[in-house]
Amino acid sequence: MPSRITLNQRYKAIIGWFAANRPAVQSELHFRNGYELIVSVILSAQCTDKRVNMVTPALFERYPDPESLAAASFDDVLALVRSVSYPNSKARHLIEMARKLVADFHSAIPSDTDSLMSLPGVGRKTANVVASILYDKPVIAVDTHVLRVSNRLGLSHGKTPEKVEADLESHIPVEQRAISHHWLILHGRYTCTARAPKCGECPLTQWCEYYSDSRV
């Protein structure tokens, strides 16, 4: 029973299942380079990847690099990203991010999270996503999906992204941290959904605290 297994056993079983059955998962955002990745991740905050992928082709055609985006007008960028969530702040952040990227980093996407977080519009989650995908850094980005799935499975009881991130990184091997973000986020997006989790389709129920508690 899930209540009788240790935390280490739970991690080993769950991460082991993902490694065996989802060995090649990756981001569902469409991008061709680091510049397109960081723009896409900024746009994806509280917005679906599907919507972002609908917006970015025209955006990247108009602004194919940091230099062109840095020189863009707010109104022009806003017109291209208007359909995403919080378009005004994101349009402003994109331009400011590009300007700082050009001025301070010679248009190259930095590899460390502190430098990434110095860019406008880039918080800890965004920095971790970019660092893990672009540079395979051993960090785990925690968004609402990852937090929810981690809590339900019993991988963490933390209520903040920072606490969940610390718990996950303390138990998941370094070489599996980057891909673990994708395992957890996709599980939350398609199976362990917020309002109606598909427990009947989930292969992880034997190790899941939420499922165990719901059957009591």
> Please, is 8 exposed, middle or buried when counting C-beta atoms within 10 Å of its C-beta (0-12, 13-18, 19+)?
exposed
Q: Tell me if 131 sits within 8 A of 110, measured CB to CB.
A: no
Q: How many residues does the chain have?
A: 216
Amino acid at 132: S
39 vs 29: CA distance, rounded Å: 10
Residues 79, 146: Cα–Cα separation, whole Å: 31
Catalytic residues: 125, 143
Query: Nearest to residue 98, comparing CAs of 111, 110, 107?
Result: 107
Sign of the CA dihedral with 46 first, then 22, 208, and 125 last: negative
Distance CA 15, CA 11 (A): 6
- Compute the radius of gyration of the chain from its Cα atoms: 19
One-character DSSP codes across 173-200: -HHHHHHHHHHHHHHHHHTS-SSS--GG
